[in-house]
């Protein structure tokens, strides 16, 4: 009797062991799996074999992991895992661990998962709508990152055609279609809110990004959850079907498809085949069906049925419950296998599942679960070993240290899965030290980070008023440094005294010549100011060329050229025999000790003639004129173009006390109280200060707001490290900034389907006038198309819209930054006057301000917001700065000087001393 029972038990045991033996993989078998996976990874990457490869190796257009400088507020969707989630992710700049997330989980009912595509996307949009309401954010158009955990054929970061549904989804009319388009259309259908869909991201990629944010060594993403998949950073040159050889791109392996070419049939069991046969996608995702949460429970259930059939379990009774598909969810599998659980508790779980079990039954069930999950973990480990070895070989290393970011309920909840996985990787890839870190926040955070990586450079160009006020405060400090005797020598914003002490008072008259050098045109003018009943000004002018070789040649050649043009002008005006007083607008930073002495401190903008820096330009010009000997000249005043502009505008509006240029370069001057100007004797009255604000930031004060593009512009400029503020805002650099951003976006597949032409790569091919044209509200898009077509990039309509967007962001940033620095000057004037409300006029000139369709309006609006306690009139200088230079000259050349009251008081003071 005893022996009969013992024999029966032994034979039962053997039957169970035999059944489970098929799940035990030997080291050799695991090595084989690794080797086969490696072959499939390579096949997926190669152009020829890619179309038929079982492991698809899909490009993701994610070129790098986050570097911690990302910032912004993003919306993210996370669809395809156990939960559908809508999130808001706020990333504060420059600090890791500075991400805040708010999310809500929504159910996707089975009938929607397997209904029509339209129903599915309408449902998604309905959930977004609910979430936006819940967050009170319906009216903020946020950038959206979409984690979509299914294989997508991506042609850009925001374009992805669904290859095929996997796991539990089977909605119709989606396969082969662009998921982003479907989402956009559903948003349009709802017609309730708008979103910028910036990126579509696989969950593996989102997970890698989430983890890489914490650990820069993380270059692999693994999901062991409902599905199973891996992504990793691959060398571009190995991804044969994507253009370009430089750098890396993250590849979504879709390793779940491994086995589709029958190459792992030797290790598949009849249970695997049964599970596959009963799935939504028979024949597909064979590896996934052996390794992921959605199927492990099913394999277990099939084995249990089989064992029950053979009378080895549940007293041989196959109940309806046991016949029910999907009862063994991963969480139950994980609970049953927990070592902390007593057999009794296992029984109670089975009981809960409706499976009436004995104590022996629960032991066997636990064994079955163990065999199935162990194999899953080992298979994942073998696959991972193939991936890490590939990365190691890619990099030509003997040893590799790398981190895998992991997510998924199987990995997280199962008591042994992660340990077995790690052990297997260690055994099969002994030359790789692989760390695994758990993604705590899901892949939505990663999707937001990807969105942030893309949006980063554009985002970094948008400033809140808070930031602008901060910049305003910084500039005020710079102004104070420039004015102070002790701080001036090291100040970056030089605050140069101009020796211009008042704006025109209406008494000027005479016949003058003005030179206007340093803006986009070199102009010579004759300015006649007469004073019969009323002051009238007559002007005649001529533009002269300043060829590149002259502005980059020797200083003497430059001044010879100026003298020659002047001679020509006087000849034409028939005044060669006269010695008219000359006012010289020279639009570069000069140190004055008096009006007609101006030592060039440094060239800016395009100019770089040798032997001029450190020299008095009046002397240089006089020398050149003398050398010719055909006419005489009397240079009475040198003024900066900002000063000329202020004076020109001051002629029409006595309240004008600020002059700004937003043209090739940018700069401002304003009337400062003499008592605050330490560098000039005297305390009474005012003097115009040429701030030279273009140099703001040259000491690093603006590093936090400069972008990689600003740095690139600077590196390629004639004066690296100098005029950093000017390079962010002025016309000479704006087109180039746009071009660099477009190149970058094209490289990342965000524009022109990744097409990069030699023209697009050529410096100077996009000019500020193009930016202005593209931003025109009516014909802007047509202009964009024209301009881009000329660059050979064959833009789509979307491309044109995106380019317009880039232009707007760059020019908006410029207007905002100038609003901040001008705001600083205005608040200083207000404080100087000690008035609760400042009423003033700002004279402005420069091609950017004049030609750009939106610039002026943006600037005015922001200034009014930043300095609310002011009434500012912006007055465009219609006649250039030559007129103003003539006004200064008139003042300087007066034989009998008409002194203002303030000037008399200065003179009195001097006399006393
Ligand atoms: C979540 C991620 O944490 O894990 C999802 O946010 C991912 O993007 C999921 O799909 C995978 O795990 P599971 O077990 O939910 O499929
Ligand atoms: C002109 C002034 O109108 O504007 C010049 O007369 C000034 O003095 C110039 O330099 C600035 O604008 P831009 O765009 O020509 O550099
Ligand atoms: C499935 C999907 C894949 C996803 C994985 C994990 O394998 O095809 O895209 O990454 O599940 O969720
Ligand atoms: C540059 C020059 C400055 C000039 C400005 C506008 O910034 O340094 O002197 O005013 O350009 O032309």
- Quick: pLDDT tens for 709-718: 999 999 999 9
Q: How confident is the model at residue 453 (pLDDT cuts 50, 70, 90)?
A: low
Which is it for the CA torsion 680, 683, 688, 690, positive or negative? Answer: positive
| pLDDT tens figures, 316-326 | 998 888 899 98
The pLDDT tens digits of the residues spanning 464-519 come to 788 899 999 999 999 999 999 999 999 999 999 999 999 888 888 899 999 999 99
Which of helix, strand or coil describes residue 74?
strand
What is the Cα–Cα distance from 173 to 165, expressed in whole angstroms?
11
Q: Which residues lie below 8 Å from residue 199, measured CB to CB, with a gap of 6+?
A: 145, 146, 157, 158, 447, 450, 451, 454
Residue 145, phi then psi, degrees to nearest 5: -105, 130
pLDDT tens by residue, 567-623: 999 999 999 999 999 999 999 999 999 999 999 999 999 999 999 999 999 999 999
Predicted confidence band at 903 (pLDDT cuts at 50, 70, 90)?
A: very low
Question: What's the predicted TM-score (pTM) here?
Answer: 0.60
Judge whether residue 897 has pLDDT over 60. no
Average pLDDT over the chain reads 91
Find the distance separating the first CA and the last CA of the chain, reported in whole Å.
132
Distance set, CA 367 to CA 335, 343, 374 (Å): 13, 12, 10
Least confident range from 457-466, 788-797, 867-876: namely 457-466
Q: Is the CB of 667 under 6 A from ligand 4?
A: yes
* Model pLDDT for residues 117-166, shown as the tens digit of each residue: 999 999 999 999 999 998 888 877 788 899 999 999 998 888 899 999 99
Q: Which of 84, 205, 228, 411 to mutate to test the pocket of ligand 3 (most atoms within 8 A of CB)?
A: 228
What mean pLDDT is predicted for residues 85-101?
Answer: 75
pLDDT (average), residues 303-318: 93
Write out the H or E segment, with its range, that includes residue 654: none
Q: Pocket around ligand 1: residues whose beta carbon is below 6 Å from it?
A: 78, 80-82, 147, 149, 203, 206, 223, 225-226, 293, 407-409, 442-444
For residue 592, report the phi and psi dihedrals to the nearest 5 degrees: -110, 145
* Res. 70 pLDDT band, cuts 50 70 90: confident
> From the CB of 659, is ligand 4 less than 6 Å away?
no
The residues assigned a catalytic role are 523, 587, 641
Distance 243 CA to ligand 1 centre (A): 31
Mutate to test the pocket of ligand 2, among 583, 645, 726 (most ligand atoms within 8 A of CB): 645
Q: What is the pairing mode between strands 400-407 and 432-438?
A: parallel
Residue 494 phi, psi (nearest 5):
-75, -20
Residue 293 Cα to ligand 2 midpoint, Å, equals 69
Q: What is the rounded distance in angstroms from the CA atom of residue 792 to the CA atom of residue 806?
A: 19
Pocket of ligand 2 (CB under 6 A): 516, 518-520, 585, 587, 641, 644, 661, 663-664, 731, 845-847, 880-882
From 514, 517, 520, 543, mutation site for ligand 2 pocket: most ligand atoms within 8 A of C-beta: 520
- 678 with 489: CB under 8 angstroms? no
Q: At what angle do helices 797-833 and 855-866 cross, to 10 degrees?
A: 40
Whether residue 784 contacts residue 747, with contact meaning beta carbons closer than 8 Å, is answered with no
Q: Residue 94: pLDDT above 70?
A: no
């Amino acid at each position: 009797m005893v022996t009969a029972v013992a024999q029966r038990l032994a034979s039962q045991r053997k039957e169970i062991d035999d059944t489970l033996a098929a799940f035990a993989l030997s080291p050799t078998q695991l090595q084989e799996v690794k080797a086969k996976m490696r072959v499939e990874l390579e096949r997926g990457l190669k152009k020829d074999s890619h179309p038929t490869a079982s492991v698809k190796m899909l490009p993701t257009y994610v070129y790098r992991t986050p570097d911690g400088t990302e910032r912004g507020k993003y919306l993210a969707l996370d669809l395809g895992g156990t939960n559908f989630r809508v999130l808001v992710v706020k990333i504060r700049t420059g600090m890791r661990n500075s991400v805040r997330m708010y999310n809500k989980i929504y159910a996707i009912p089975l009938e929607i998962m397997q209904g029509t595509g339209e129903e599915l996307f309408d449902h998604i949009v309905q959930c977004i709508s609910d979430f936006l309401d819940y967050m009170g954010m319906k009216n903020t158009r946020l950038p959206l990152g979409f984690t979509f955990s299914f294989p997508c054929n991506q042609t850009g970061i925001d374009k992805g055609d669904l290859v095929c549904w996997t796991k539990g989804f089977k909605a119709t009319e989606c396969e082969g279609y662009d998921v982003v388009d479907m989402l956009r259309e559903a948003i349009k259908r709802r017609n309730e809110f708008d979103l910028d869909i910036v990126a579509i991201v696989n969950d593996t990629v989102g997970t890698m990004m989430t983890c890489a944010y914490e650990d820069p060594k993380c270059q692999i993403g693994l999901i062991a959850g409902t599905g199973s998949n891996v992504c990793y950073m691959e060398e571009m040159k190995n991804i044969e079907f994507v253009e370009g050889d430089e750098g890396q791109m993250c590849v979504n392996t879709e390793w779940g498809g491994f086995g589709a070419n029958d190459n792992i049939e030797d290790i598949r069991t009849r249970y695997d085949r049964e599970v596959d046969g009963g799935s939504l996608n028979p024949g597909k995702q064979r590896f996934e069906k052996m390794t992921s949460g959605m199927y492990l429970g099913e394999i277990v259930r099939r084995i249990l049925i089989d064992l029950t059939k053979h009378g080895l379990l549940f007293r041989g009774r196959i109940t309806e419950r046991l016949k029910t598909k999907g009862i063994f969810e991963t969480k139950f599998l994980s609970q049953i296998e927990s070592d902390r659980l007593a057999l009794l508790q296992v029984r109670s779980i089975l009981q809960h599942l409706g499976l009436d079990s004995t104590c022996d039954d629960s032991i066997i069930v636990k064994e079955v679960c163990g065999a199935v999950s162990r194999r899953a973990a080992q298979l994942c480990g073998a696959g991972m070993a193939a991936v890490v070895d590939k990365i190691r070989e890619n990099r030509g290393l003997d040893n590799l240290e790398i981190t895998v970011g992991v997510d998924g309920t199987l990995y997280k909840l199962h008591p042994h899965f992660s340990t077995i996985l790690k052990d297997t990787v260690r055994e099969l890839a002994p030359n790789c030290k692989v760390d695994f870190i758990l993604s705590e926040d899901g892949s939505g955070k990663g999707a937001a980070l990807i969105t942030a990586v893309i949006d980063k450079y554009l985002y970094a160009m948008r400033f809140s008023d808070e930031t602008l006020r901060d910049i305003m405060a910084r500039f005020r400090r710079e102004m104070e440094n420039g004015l102070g005797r002790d701080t001036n020598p090291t100040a970056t914003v030089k605050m140069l005294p101009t020796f211009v002490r008042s704006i025109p008072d209406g008494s000027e008259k005479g016949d003058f010549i003005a030179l206007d050098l340093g803006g986009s045109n070199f102009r010579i003018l004759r300015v006649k100011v007469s004073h019969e009943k009323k002051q009238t000004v007559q002007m005649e002018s001529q533009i002269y060329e300043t060829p590149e070789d002259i502005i980059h040649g020797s200083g003497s050649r430059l001044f010879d050229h100026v003298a020659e043009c002047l001679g020509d002008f006087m000849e034409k005006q028939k005044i060669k025999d006269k010695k008219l007083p000359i006012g010289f607008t020279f639009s570069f930073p000069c140190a004055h000790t008096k009006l007609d002495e101006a030592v060039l401190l440094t060239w800016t903008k395009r100019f770089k003639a040798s032997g001029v820096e450190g020299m008095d330009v009046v002397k240089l010009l006089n020398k050149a004129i003398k050398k010719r000997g055909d006419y005489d000249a009397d240079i009475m005043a040198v003024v900066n173009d900002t000063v000329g502009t202020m004076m020109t505008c001051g002629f029409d509006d006595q309240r004008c006390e600020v002059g700004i240029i937003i043209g090739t370069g940018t700069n401002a001057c304003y009337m400062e109280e003499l008592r605050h100007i330490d560098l000039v004797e005297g305390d009474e009255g005012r003097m115009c200060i040429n701030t030279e604000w273009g140099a703001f930031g040259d000491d690093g004060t603006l590093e936090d707001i400069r972008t990689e593009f600003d740095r690139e512009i600077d590196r390629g400029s004639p004066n690296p490290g100098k005029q950093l503020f000017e390079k962010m805002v002025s016309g000479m650099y704006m087109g180039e900034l746009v071009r660099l951003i477009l190149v970058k976006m094209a490289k990342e597949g965000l524009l022109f389907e990744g097409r990069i032409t030699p023209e697009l790569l050529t410096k100077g091919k996009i000019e500020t006038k193009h930016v202005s044209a593209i931003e025109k509200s009516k014909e802007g898009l047509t202009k964009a198309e024209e301009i881009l077509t000329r660059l050979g990039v064959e833009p789509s309509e979307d491309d044109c819209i995106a380019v317009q967007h880039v232009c707007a962001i760059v020019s908006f940033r410029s207007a905002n930054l100038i609003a901040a620095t001008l705001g600083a000057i205005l608040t200083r004037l207000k404080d100087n006057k000690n008035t609760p409300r400042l009423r003033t006029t700002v004279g402005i000139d420069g091609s950017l301000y004049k030609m750009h369709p939106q610039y002026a309006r943006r600037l005015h609006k922001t200034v009014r917001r930043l300095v609310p306690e002011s009434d500012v009139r912006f007055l465009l200088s219609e006649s250039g700065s030559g007129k103003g230079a003539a006004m200064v000259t008139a003042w300087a050349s007066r034989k009998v000087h008409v002194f203002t009251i303030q000037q008399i008081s200065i003179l009195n003071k001097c006399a006393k001393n």
